[in-house]
A and B are shown apart, each in its own frame.
Chain A
C-alpha cells in the first residue's frame, strides 16, 4: 500500500511535458497554493505536477517499508473477513433445512397491537354486521346452557386453535379486537398460517404466551400446534389441552364444529360462555391474502376496507355474545349500535 501511496502522492499524476516551466498555468499555481508537497517553485523543474521529491526514495514495491506491507495485508484481510462472514451466513442459510417461507413467531409490533385494539367506535358502528364484499357467518347461539366456568371463573370464553390453521388466523384478528373491548392484552405475538396449507401465510397473531386481563370475563386460549412443519409431516405440538378444556370441546364440538371427528380437534373452536359457539371460519381468510400485519392493522380505521368489514363484523358478533354473558358490561361497548345490531341479528340481549 505504501508503494501505492508513494506512487499516488509523490509521482502519481501525469508529468506535464517539459518546457512549460517558465509560464506556470493557473492549475500549477493553484496546486502550489493548496498543497505543500507541490510548493516547489513552478518553472524550475520543468515537469510540473507531482514530480518526485529531490532525494526522495524511488516509489518501488521492492523498497516499500515492511510496515506498509503489513497495512496492506491488514486492510485486505479485513475486507476478506467481511466477505467470508457474509458467505458463511449465506451458506449456512442455504444448507439449513428451514424453509424461508415459514413464518416465525415474533413479538407483535406495538403499532399493530395499538391499531387492532383501538379500532374507533365509529368503525364498529358503521360496519355493524354487514360486509358486502366479505360475508360473515354469525356464531351459533345455544340457549338454556349453564354459563361456562374455566379455572373456577365465570363467565368464560375458550378458544382452541393452532398457529398453522388459516381459519384460526382470520378468526384471531376479530377475536383480538373484540376481547380488547373487555380487557387488556399482553404478550401478543405475530405469525402466519401454514405456508403449505390453503390461504397460505395468512398474517395473524399467536396467542401462545399471550394473556387477556379482564374484569368482565375469563379468557383461555390453546394453540395446540405451531406453524413449524416437521420433517416427519404435520406440525410441532405447542400447548396441551387441560381436561376441563377437553370436556368443553367434547360437549359442544360434535354439533357445532365443521369437520368434527371423534377423538380429534378441528379448528377453530370458540365457546363464548356456553352461549355462542364458533366452529369454523367466520369469514373467508382470502380477504387477508397478501397483506402484512401492519397493512391489515392500519386498515382497521377504514370501514370501507373489505378486510376491516369482515374483521369488525365478526368482532361485533363476538362482542354481542360476550355482552350477553356479562350482563351488558361494559356499558359503552354493549350499548353501542354495532354491538346492538349484532345482538339483534343473533336474537340475544346484549345490554
Chain B
C-alpha cells in the first residue's frame, strides 16, 4: 500500500452505493412496494425483507443499513480522511468492524434461517465487506502517523488542494 491515493475515493463511492441501496430497501420496507428482484426460489428478496429476521429490536434491518451508511459516508469524505483527529479515523475503523460483524449475522440469517437470498442485501453485504477491507488496511497508516491523508493523496477529491481540515 504505497499511498492512500485511491482508498478515500473508493470508500466514499462504496459508502454512497451502500447508502443508495439502503434507502431503496428502507422505502420498500415501509411502502410495501415490490422489490425489483426475483420472488421465487432461492433468490427471493421479498421473502428476506419480510421475514422475522428483517427486524432487529423493532428496527427494520434496512433502516439499520441507513443508520450505518450515513455516518460511514460522512467519515469517508475527503475532509474526514485528511483530518489529524485520530477519533475520526478510529470511528471509521470501528464502524467498518461493526458493519462486517453485522453482515456475517445477516448472511447466517439468510442461508440458515430464512433460507433465501436477497440480491439487494447481498449487494450491501459486498459493499460493506470491501469497506471493511479498505478501511482496516488503511487505518494503521493514518493512525500510526497521527495525521490525516496527504493533500496530494486526495487531489482528485479536493476542489481546493491543501485546505486545512
Contacts and interface: CB of A to CB of B under 8 A. Distances in A.
A292 B39 contact: yes
A106 B52 contact: yes
A8 B3 CA distance: 5
Nearest to A292: B46
Interface stretch (A67-75, A208-216, A236-244, A278-286): A67-75
Contacts of A90: 111
A: contact size bracket: 35 or more
Contacts, number: 136
B145 A5 contact: yes
B105 to A, nearest CB: 11
A331 B165 CA distance: 72
Interface in B107-160: 107-108, 111-117, 129, 132-133, 136-137, 139-141, 144-145, 147, 150-153, 160
Interface string A93-107: 100001011111011
Interface string A20-44: 0000001101110111110000000
Contact of B115 (A49, A79, A103, A295): A103
A112 B49 CA distance: 13
Contacts of A298: 32
B163 A30 contact: yes
B150 A295 contact: no
Interface in B28-66: 32, 34, 39-42, 46-47, 50-52, 55
Contact of A1 (B116, B141, B153): B141
A101 B129 CA distance: 27
A101 B42 contact: yes
Contacts of A35: 147, 150-151
A31 B151 contact: yes
Contacts of A14: 152
Given A8-B4, A79-B137, A86 B115 contact: no
B113 A106 contact: yes
A305 interface: no
Contacts of B34: 295
Given A76-B137, A290-B39, A107 B52 contact: yes
A294 interface: yes
B100 interface: yes
A13 B152 CA distance: 7
A304 interface: no
A259 interface: no
B114 A12 contact: no
B112 A30 contact: no
A2 interface: yes
B145 A9 contact: yes
Contact of A2 (B42, B129, B144, B165): B144
B144 A31 contact: no
Contacts of A75: 136-137, 139-140
Contacts of A71: 140, 144
B1 A292 contact: no
B113 A294 contact: no
Interface string A276-320: 000000000000001011110010000000000000000000000
B137 to A, nearest CB: 6
Nearest to A7: B2
B162 interface: yes
Given A5-B140, A9-B150, A79 B133 contact: yes
A305 B75 CA distance: 47
A101 B2 CA distance: 47
Contacts of A290: 39-40
A72 B139 CA distance: 11
Given A34-B163, A82-B129, A292 B50 contact: yes
Given A85-B104, A104-B113, A109 B140 contact: no
9 contacts: A1-B141, A1-B144, A5-B140, A30-B160, A68-B144, A79-B133, A103-B115, A106-B52, A109-B52
Q: State the 4 A-B residue pairs at the shortest beta-carbon distance, nearest first.
A: A30-B162, A100-B42, A34-B164, A294-B50
Given A12-B2, A14-B152, A34-B164, 16 more contacts: A4-B141, A8-B1, A13-B3, A27-B161, A34-B165, A35-B151, A68-B140, A78-B97, A79-B137, A82-B129, A93-B111, A98-B115, A100-B42, A101-B42, A102-B115, A298-B32
